[in-house]
Amino acid sequence: MATIEPFAALRPRPELAGQICELPYDVLSSDEAREVAAGNPLSFFHVSKPEIDLPPGTGLYAPEVYAKGRDNFEKFVRQGALRRDPQPFFYLYRQVMGAHAQTGLVAAASCREYLDGVIKKHELTRMDKEDDRVRHIEALAAQSSPVFLTCRAPGVLDEFIGRKIARKPEIDFIAQDGVRHSTWTLAGADDIQFISGQFANIPFLYIADGHHRSAAAARVFRSRQGAGHSARFLAVIFPHRQLQVLPYNRVLKDLNGRTPEELLERLGAVVDVDPDGSASPGREHDLGFYLRGRWQTLSFRRKLPETDDPVDALDVTLLQRRVLEPIFGIHDPRASDRIAFVGGIRGPAELERLVDSGQYACAFSMFPTRVETLMAVADDGGIMPPKSTWFEPKLRDGLFCHLI
């Protein structure tokens, strides 16, 4: 069963939260973060992407980058921009993006349960990215970027949270991208006991986003042998019914030596092609395909692989095995420089722009992977193909920090 704990968060002063909190460190490039943070000395990018304060060309993993992040973090604390709560609490964190709203519980999750599989993962991690997060955590002696978890939450927990967020929030701001962020503190002993008791009956938590952050936290836990608060990591846990998953689309640089006519003929042997298609597929096992200024719908033949492995029936798997590898010659999408991935938040218009500009030859728009499918893959011990899901809205770095 999942064991979560309250913690004494380091948080922004409410009136400064809109200036401080930023998108996750891995969503923007260094140049983009430098532009966003320009003229804002309180931007959390000075902590999460501290290379923006060093000379151009400084290596992302250079020791001075982590040292600068630590110095900026400590300055925020000295200035009182970030303040630590006097005792451990649970927190609620609500995000509103257009018509979509989701509310998660902010808590300290267990590194041991991550290692033991109670907190389930569905992606592989890269050691260089793990190393980066380990060094960042150690430099700050804190986790400042939460892991995005989900679970099958009981209805009584939803009702409890719904009552709590009916009150006026403590922190409430609308970010530059239009997403509203609101937080509440659960300080009462009865509330804390209720939350702990509910999660004691939830068998598993699932990583939606943040595999490198959780893996790094577990490594720090092991190296420190659980000293201090290193046995726990910062997490926001959302009921799976509330999550919004967008597609992760693909653009390809060339047609693998084929003319457009030859390519369409080859595709027709694998999928049904509707020449009057849509930019956004309306169901599983359909793809949008953009070529020569026109969207077409590709539909995989309805006879899918007879297997108990849920990964085999994923659209991203079918695309890779039936189209990208045999037709485009892309055997490993992780390593190939002939394919790029575009988060669904950018929409089909971005795919059109990339192809129409000549940077890419064609594009595939995907139907979003369902959260239930992700959980089924994790329950089966499987690994999702790369770039299978894009969760929106993104959690903000710096809104909660967990000191270890």
The whole-angstrom separation of Cα 211 and Cα 207 is 7
The pLDDT value given to residue 374: 93
CA distances from 103 to 41, 153, 376, 381, 392 (A): 29, 12, 23, 27, 13
pTM for this model (two decimals): 0.92
| CB count in 10 Å sphere of residue 316 | 23
The whole-angstrom separation of Cα 364 and Cα 213 is 30
The pLDDT value given to residue 306: 66
Interval 301-354: pLDDT, tens? 766 556 678 898 899 999 999 999 999 999 999 889 999 999 989 999 999 999
Helix axes 189-199, 155-164, angle to 10 degrees: 150
What letter would DSSP give residue 312?
A: G
| CB count in 10 Å sphere of residue 370 | 15
Domain positions in the chain are 10-245+392-403, 248-367
The pLDDT value given to residue 302: 62
Residues in the chain: 404
Q: Where does 143-295 have alpha helices with state H?
A: 155-164, 189-199, 211-224, 260-268
> Which tokens is 37 given?
């943070």
The pLDDT value given to residue 29: 92
**31 close to 7: Cβ distance less than 8 angstroms:** no
Those residues of the chain that have pLDDT short of 50 are none
The whole-angstrom separation of Cα 208 and Cα 322 is 27
> Which tokens is 21 given?
């909190």
The pLDDT value given to residue 258: 97
Burial label for 382, CB within 10 Å (0-12, 13-18, 19+), is middle
The structural architecture, per CATH, of the domain 248-367 is 2-Layer Sandwich (3.30)
